[in-house]
Structure 1
């Protein structure tokens, strides 16, 4: 356990930061899953709308360093390609 006051404060800060990061990461995952669900359902219009809502959410998460920017770019690219490939 942390002994000094500064170490105890860092433990508190880390816990608060971890909660915030988990919330943002969960929000990003949920937005991606919604797009995937719409694609699997075959609803192109809804998938496009959800994709447009997803992009700023995942970009913000990448900017904060919770996911690597290339990983987010890869997900956006693949989902967009799947949407465009829909009939």
Structure 2
């Protein structure tokens, strides 16, 4: 989870429930049914909180961003070369 937070440069919160998917579906259903005006309201009423939060490590965020840029440049080069040889 720490690596995901670093790669995405966003905090990652781990939900306290083992039934996170079902609980999320219930929250969206309750919002769609008009029981709650916003999903955030349903989260406050139905949610069971979070067990942990992983925050991005700024020193690692830059490393992953630089690696992604290199990957994207390589992908662009390969696409260009492939198109040239077709």
TM-score bucket (shorter structure): 0.3 to 0.5
Larger radius of gyration: 2
Using the size of structure 2 for normalisation, the TM-score is 0.35
> Which of the pair is proportionally richer in helix?
1
Using the size of structure 1 for normalisation, the TM-score is 0.34
